[in-house]
Amino acid sequence: MPYEYPKFEYRRNADQDAKVPVRHPVVIAGAGPVGLALAVDLALKQVPVILLEAQDTISVGSRAICFAKRTLEVCERLGLGRRLLEKGVTWKKGVVFFGDDEVFEFDLLPEEGHQFPAFINLQQYYLELYAIERAQELREFIDLRWCSELQAIDSGENGVRLTVGTPDGAYQLDCDWLIAADGARSFCRKSLGLEFEGRTFDDQFLIADIKTKADMPPVRRFWFAPTFTDADSALLHMQPDDVWRLDFQIGPEADAAEEMQIENVMRRVRGMLGNEIEPDLEWISVYRFQSRCIRNFVHGRVIFTGDAAHQVSPFGARGANSGIQDAENLAWKLQLVLKELAPESLLDSYDAERTYAAEENIRHSTQSTDFIAPKGVVSLAYRNAVLSLAKQYKFARPLINSGRLSTPTIHRDSMLNTADVDSWSGKLMPGAPAADAPLQTPEGESWLLSQLKGEFTLLYFTEDAVPELVEAELRSLSQNLVPVKPLLIGLKPESQGVSVFDLQGLAALRYDARNGTTYLLRPDQHICARWKTFSLDEIRSALNTATCN
């Protein structure tokens, strides 16, 4: 049976009966994955949110299905990660074909010692449903209003006045900040007269989500020039509930309406999976690649996130993943500004960091599209030569681009970073997301990222007992106006006065840690400073830099 989409009840709210517009700190337009993630994150920081959704249900069709390791880590902090993992299809390997020939296989997470896999496949409607249920648990801080459509935005220097349409008629409300999370057709973006900049590609792609039993492992399969269909490329992904995502490159001249006819979709499905298959068709769509974004994400008191701010092709799974990371980046900064613990200039770092991330994703997405759908005879000859060589010669394999899969952006040049003064080995650096690692707590096994609760955290590694002076200075940091929580990590079983132990040595390896190594982590788990030895003055300076104080 096809998925049954839940309906949510419209309810009249007190703002509709107020004589003058009621003012709220934050209004979020759009209850998709990004808007919901931001609402939950702000609620956990005790920031009240009005969440407006024009519809009365979750998004129709599986839409985004590939959720990356970093997104799962963010969702775990929000109280969703474990549930997503349990429902989703875990995968980390991909296979690339040229015609009928397997060219090579790749592994996205070859090392052990991580809490979450490289990717899960999960229909977007499940993520939205779980996030809605999480928001309902936080209803003290989240007022989710269904059938509430933005009709007008009047943005001023000190706030925004909104007109909201409902089944009972329109009403107005005010807010300090409006967050536009209302998707690719964003009313907020159009109201402010903002235009996307970038490219729209001519090639069309047909998506078919089918429900059928198929005995295949959960591996990403991508075909260049497949022989089982006249499409130029094809993609196959497993989803939960025996649902499979099939994606066909049907070319710029294809008649979209004709391609979406059931008999034509089934012809392609049977070509890929066999003539004996009798699937249920869950969702069919035709789309063109978009690689575009608005120039700035902060416009006065209106802040843009997710597809309202940027669009990328689905190859590489960069849309929803980058949108949820937008929300993660914004939540703590908005909290500090609202509580007057940081100046509004802190939000400039959201603009700088997430526009950089969008540009990075667009660059990768564009490169993928140019390889998948080459323009001209020379580009096609180059691509086919790379694919022909890759089966036998390893040097050609990195040149294959069937969609560079989503990885978190490293904000190397962020204004919030404090530059290294020591020498370090490994992949971590200021601006990078913290690496996970298994740890031992008094209650049992845990993970490093599970110890981070959405606030500034100081990692302090020690082989011995924590020095009394360091303990006293850590206490003083925890009493700051912007508090810093200490996480003391013992490098040896005999370490004393610590919170957790790195018994497998993976945390020390990934953080290049020795006795006294110290890291300052932002509330979104990105590294903003690190030192080989503990220095309270340097930590306070780095904290001021990270909060624009």
The answer to whether residues 54 and 138 belong to one domain is yes
The answer to whether residues 143 and 253 belong to one domain is no
Last residue of a domain, one of 290, 321, 336: 290
The answer to whether residues 137 and 29 belong to one domain is yes
Q: Is residue 275 part of a domain?
A: yes
The most distant pair of C-alpha atoms in the chain lies apart, rounded to whole Å, by: 75
The answer on pLDDT for 464 being more than 70 is: yes
Q: Is residue 183 part of a domain?
A: yes
Q: Is residue 106 part of a domain?
A: no
CATH code: domain of residue 487: 3.40.30.120
Query: pTM here?
Result: 0.95
The answer to whether residues 305 and 359 belong to one domain is yes
Considering just the CA atoms, what is the radius of gyration of the chain in Å? Answer: 25
Q: Is residue 484 part of a domain?
A: yes
pLDDT tens-digit map of 362-380: 888 778 878 888 888 898 9
The answer to whether residues 258 and 336 belong to one domain is no
Reported as a pLDDT band with limits 50, 70 and 90, residue 413 is very high
**Spatial CB neighbours of 207, under 8 Å, sequence gap ≥ 6:** 245, 246, 247, 283, 284, 285, 286, 287
Reported as a pLDDT band with limits 50, 70 and 90, residue 361 is confident
The answer to whether residues 238 and 310 belong to one domain is no
pLDDT of residue 112: 87
Domain that holds residue 266: 199-290
549 neighbors 343 (Cβ within 8 angstroms): yes
The answer on pLDDT for 108 being more than 90 is: no
The answer to whether residues 177 and 305 belong to one domain is yes
User: What is the rounded average pLDDT for all residues in the chain?
Assistant: 93
Q: Is residue 191 part of a domain?
A: yes
pLDDT of residue 114: 93
CATH code: domain of residue 332: 3.50.50.60
pLDDT of residue 317: 64
Q: Where are the alpha helices (DSSP H) in 33-191?
A: 33-44, 69-77, 81-87, 124-137, 187-191
The DSSP letter of residue 305 is -
Q: Is residue 173 part of a domain?
A: yes
pLDDT of residue 272: 94
Q: Is residue 433 part of a domain?
A: no
The answer to whether residues 56 and 170 belong to one domain is yes
Dihedral over Cα of 221, 82, 112, 450: its sign:
positive
CATH code: domain of residue 266: 3.30.9.10
The answer to whether residues 205 and 254 belong to one domain is yes
pLDDT of residue 107: 87
pLDDT of residue 276: 87
Reported as a pLDDT band with limits 50, 70 and 90, residue 501 is very high
pLDDT of residue 2: 63
Last residue of a domain, one of 257, 290, 323: 290
pLDDT of residue 315: 65
Last residue of a domain, one of 364, 398, 415: 364
Distance CA 478, CA 456 (A): 9
Number of folded domains in the chain? 3
pLDDT of residue 318: 74
Q: Is residue 188 part of a domain?
A: yes
pLDDT tens-digit map of 196-249: 998 887 889 999 999 998 888 899 999 999 999 999 999 999 999 999 999 999
Q: What are the tokens at 142?
A: 């989240």
pLDDT of residue 277: 86
The answer to whether residues 192 and 295 belong to one domain is yes
pLDDT tens-digit map of 259-300: 999 999 999 999 999 988 888 999 999 988 888 899 999 999
Q: Which residues pair with 519 in a beta bridge?
A: 459, 530
The answer on pLDDT for 405 being more than 90 is: no
The answer to whether residues 153 and 193 belong to one domain is yes
Please state which of the ranges 200-204, 501-505, 523-527 shows the lowest mean pLDDT: 200-204
The answer to whether residues 54 and 143 belong to one domain is yes
